[in-house]
Chain A
Amino acid sequence: MGLDLRWPIGLMFTFFGALLTIYGVVTNSDPMYQLSLGKNINLIWGIVLLIFGGLMLIGAIRGSKAPPQA
């Protein structure tokens, strides 16, 4: 099939990661973080998702440059 699955995965997780990271920064020290044991879990996990999404995107870009595998 002509669709490299790494594109949608990479795009989606980068988007979620960016959203959570920004939301985490904006809501830093909000009392709701008592739930997550005082950690700004949105910021932390947003960065994790950004890294994951970014790796997928790098893979997709490299895949689109390399000649298609036999």
Chain B
Amino acid sequence: MQPIQLHWIDYTILLAYVVFILGIGWALARYMKSSRDFLTSSRSIPTWVTGLAFISANLGALELVGMAASGAKYGIATSHFYWVGAIPAMVFLAVFMMPFYYGSKARSTPEYLKMRFDQRVRFVNAFAFAVMTVATSGISMNALADLLHLLLGWKYSVSLWVCSVVVLLYVFKGGLTSAIYTEVLQFFLIVLGFAPVVWLGLEDVGGWSALKERLTGIASHPATLALGDKTFQSDAWTSAWKPLLAGSGNNPMGVDIFAMVFGLGFVLSFGYWCTNFLVVQRAMAAKNMTAARNTPLVAAIPKMLFPAIVILPGMIAVGLATLPNKEYRIPPPIISDANYSKAIDAVQNANPADMDAGVKAVHDALGAPIYSDKVSALITANAQHAETTEQIKAALYNSVAENDYNAVIPSLVQRYCPSGLLALALLALFASFMSGMAGNITAFNTVWTYDLYQGYIAPNKDDRHYFRMGQFVTVVGTLLSIVCAYFASHYSNAMDALQLVFGFVNAPIFATFLLGMFWKRTTGTGAFLGLIGGILTSVVFHALTLSVGDTPGIKGGYIQVVHTFQSDMAQAFWLASFAFSACFILTVLISLVTAQTKTDEELKGLVYSLTPKIKDHEQHFFLRPAVLGTILIIACVILNIIFW
């Protein structure tokens, strides 16, 4: 991909955006009087705002880019992350769990664990979470800086520092409120910036039914797009459930139905949406109990429709790539100019009489897998009438038999956006990364200040002290993220390993929260040892299993390969299922043999059976969380049936 040139109109729009979000930070600065204002927004924000921020904070990380990549690789089945994963979990959070988070007056989810259990459980959760938020935002900033380099030719360090400093400024000024407000602004930018790209893409490929037809063809020849050498049923890219029901060998995700429904739909999704402080913090900032409970429900409405913006572009890209007259391919991984010029030499020096040697020389020069038929056609064409180096380079680009699916979104932006709209689409990318980063930073500074600093290092200071600490650690967190970004750009394997460890720690945590909230007999010791047992189960499970095509090592199986999965995704879903079950069973068993150290009075407001039921009668019927939740679940089922 050649970098795109920006015009004055694009720069004007980008600059105006920065002015607006910084303006919000400054406008809110005068309301920041205490650590609660700064770190928890003093529970004052309306539902629609917290709801959209809830979505936007989560959307950050790598969702736009990553979900489009999955849309290309797996088709419509990617929607399971939304319609099986997110929505039911968000409804559960709203209806059943939010009353305890909000009602307990805890300032963070680790603090809830302290109130319900003890300092040990809180520490495991808070420490793992703090490290994770910093690393996640670093990984995400690294991805953004790479993307801007690819798309616009901007220098890596410049993008990294400029974006981080903008986020730092508005979070430093306006705290959580500023992060939440800008997240809402960013939510609208993401939707309104990408919608026209998706619209143009869909029209280009010939509409939804034409797209489905193209994808049906791809299912029986996935190798044409370097999607693997298997063949699938014709509906593998266009149905969400049928390929899944056919078994893990028959869908491109390589996942079986149990892993999908229990592993992803229950363990991982509920674990993320119901316990991850990054998202739950948004709901906890709402102005009252009803607003807090309705936050995830308001968020669920756009979340349900998001596949149209994030998954569809990936499917469109695959559809376009199958149409020769569209002259589109999913971009190959970045190959250096030096390798391209060596490969051009190899083409020019190749002898058409010895085609195998010529193709091999090109392959060696390029250093990437190639379609040999395309390269031999190129060699023949070049021998007949010498092609220009540009033509050869273009042909080589099209011969690389490997795809960089993360480049799908940038390639579509480049394909469809003239100046003007281009800035808007870029803003959607900026907004998604910045909202994710701000989300991580605000969650990090709260957990650091209240759970780690006040909890263990310096309790009993005056509020002014914690307010200052909150601001200080916002700067530290941002700097640490920048360090992580550089680290990720140099040692991507180390970052993969780190994310693996987060996976181990996060997989069982939902069992701890679930038992804590709904079984009053759960003891602190039971929860702590159960959680440790769950984490160890993850480690052992990983050491004993592997997925097809991987070698034992960081991908697992380094003790012994007891079971082989069809894909990494299936391995991750099963790992979570085992870790959750182990944590659940151990917590129950240990709780039964240890004494409860908390009295019923202490557990009031923290455990379901000891908390007065919330009466929603003063609410309008349709605004009661249980009713709204039911409507959402029904809508979700309907979507699953439509795309069955």
State the A residues within 8 Å of B (CB). Answer: 1-3, 5, 8-9, 11-13, 15-16, 19-20, 23-24, 27, 30, 32-33, 35-37, 39, 41-42, 44-46, 48-49, 52
Contacts and interface: CB of A to CB of B under 8 A. Distances in A.
Given A19-B13, A42-B420, A46-B420, 10 more contacts: A5-B184, A9-B188, A12-B17, A16-B16, A19-B9, A19-B12, A30-B418, A36-B417, A36-B418, A37-B203
A45 B421 contact: yes
Interface in B11-36: 12-13, 16-17, 20, 23-24, 27-28, 31
B17 A41 contact: no
Interface stretch (B41-49, B344-352, B490-498): B41-49
A35 to B, nearest CB: 5
Contacts of A45: 196, 421, 424
B419 A32 contact: yes
Contact of A41 (B13, B23, B49, B196): B196
A41 B28 contact: no
B440 interface: no
B416 A36 contact: yes
A9 B182 CA distance: 9
Contacts of B421: 20, 36, 41-42, 45
Contacts of A19: 9, 12-13, 16, 420
5 contacts: A1-B44, A9-B185, A41-B196, A45-B424, A49-B192
Contact of A1 (B12, B177, B196, B203): B177
A33 B41 CA distance: 45
Given A33-B418, A35-B415, A5 B200 contact: no
A22 to B, nearest CB: 9
Interface in B380-409: none
Given A5-B184, A23-B9, A37-B200, A11 B20 contact: yes
Contact of A35 (B45, B185, B417): B417
A24 B9 CA distance: 11
Residues of B in contact with A, size category: 20 to 34
Contacts of A33: 418
Contacts of B45: 1
B27 A3 contact: yes
B420 A20 contact: yes
Contacts of A27: 419-420
B50 to A, nearest CB: 11
B28 A1 contact: yes
A21 B200 CA distance: 18
Contacts of A11: 20
B181 interface: yes
A16 B425 CA distance: 12
A8 B185 contact: yes
B204 interface: yes
A9 to B, nearest CB: 6
Contacts of B424: 16, 20, 45
Most chain B CB within 10 A, of A15, A36, A39, is at A36
B272 to A, nearest CB: 26
A25 B415 CA distance: 22
A51 to B, nearest CB: 11
B181 A3 contact: yes
A1 B31 contact: yes
Contacts of A35: 415-418
B44 to A, nearest CB: 6
Contacts of B200: 36-37, 39, 41
Contacts of A42: 418-421
Nearest to A33: B418
A52 B193 CA distance: 13
Most chain A CB within 10 A, of B45, B177, B188, is at B188
A49 B200 CA distance: 17
Interface in B413-460: 415-421, 424
Contacts of B417: 35-36, 41
A17 B28 CA distance: 26
B420 A23 contact: yes
User: Top 7 A-B pairs ranked by shortest CB distance?
Assistant: A42-B420, A32-B418, A12-B20, A23-B420, A35-B418, A41-B421, A45-B196
Contacts of B24: 3, 8
B23 A48 contact: no
Given A41-B421, A48-B192, A5 B9 contact: no
Contacts of B20: 8, 11-12
Nearest to B417: A35
